[in-house]
Structure 1
Amino acid sequence: MSDTPDRDTAASGLEAISAGGDALIGMATLGKTAAALALVLVIIFAASAVLKRLQHRRQPAGGRLRVISATAVGPRERVVIVQVEERWLVLGVGGGQINKLHELAAPDHEAPSPPAGAGFEAGDSFATRFAKALKHNAGLKDRAGLGRDRS
């Protein structure tokens, strides 16, 4: 009979250890679930921030207003060229106000002129211009015949 209380004590001790182990496993599972939830929330907030930035940069299709150029002239002041239909407006923006500085007709769409000194010609392909620019920047002479007229 003296063995019975010791066995009961040992059995209750084993039950306590196994119950504690189950509690630890349950807490680990809860921690993993909380971490996964936090990761999903971070991904959602990051995706929403990226989408907001992309939507601000996108111009509406068929819009009649287009920003051509802008430059800062002070910490909060800018000069902006805006195209409205066939007119360009030069605007001064700053201090909570916008002032029209000048108005002019929008120029025809022309290809930008190539940089001076690179030897570009109007009919050059991209590959020819790229090769000429590389040679010009490297200080090499036109030995491959890329400067010749190919017509």
Structure 2
Amino acid sequence: MNTSTSLLPLLWFLAILALIPLALWLLKRTPLGGASTGGQMRLIAQLPIAPNQRLVTVEVGQGDDRRWLVLGVTGSQINTLHVMPPQPESAGGVGQQSFAQMLGARLRGDQRAP
């Protein structure tokens, strides 16, 4: 048996193994692989509550249909806690508390929190 014909299957095997990471890399960067959401959703803020729990604010939709969703996220489920219109990005300015600050004050029992 010729050694070049016996190496041919091994070379094909190595070529396929080399193409797997390349295919995964390309898939991750194409819309087919979910790389592009088309601007339909973006993360606004998140607040860790416990090792397995957090509050997340996401913006969904476009144009006049945009909404902010406040979600309670655990290891096993996601619950919508509140739906509100989008807030200006500068809402955390001077004299205004961020959502995380207000929630922290409420959890500590500070009655001065609005």
TM-score, length-normalised on structure 1?
A: 0.42
1:41 aligns with 2:16: yes
> Post-superposition shift, 1:96?
2.5
Cα distance, 1:68 vs structure 2: 2.6
Q: Provide, for residues 77-112 of structure 1, a one-character-per-residue CA deviation record: whole Å limited to 9, x for no partner.
A: 3322111243211101114322223344323356xx
Task: Please state which structure has a larger fraction of its residues in strand.
Answer: 2
In the alignment, which of 68, 73, 79 is matched to residue 93 of structure 1? 73
Amino acid at match of 1:40: A
Percent sequence identity over aligned pairs: 27
Aligned length: 84
Larger radius of gyration: 1
RMSD: 2.9
1:68 aligns with 2:39: no
- The one-letter code matched in structure 2 to 1:44 is L
1:102 aligns with 2:82: yes
More helix by share: 1
Question: 1:32 and 1:70 mapped to 2: Cα distance?
Answer: 54
Letter aligned with residue 41 of structure 1: I
Tell me the SS of whatever aligns to 1:101. strand
**Higher relative contact order (Cα pairs below 8 Å, separated by 6+ residues):** 2
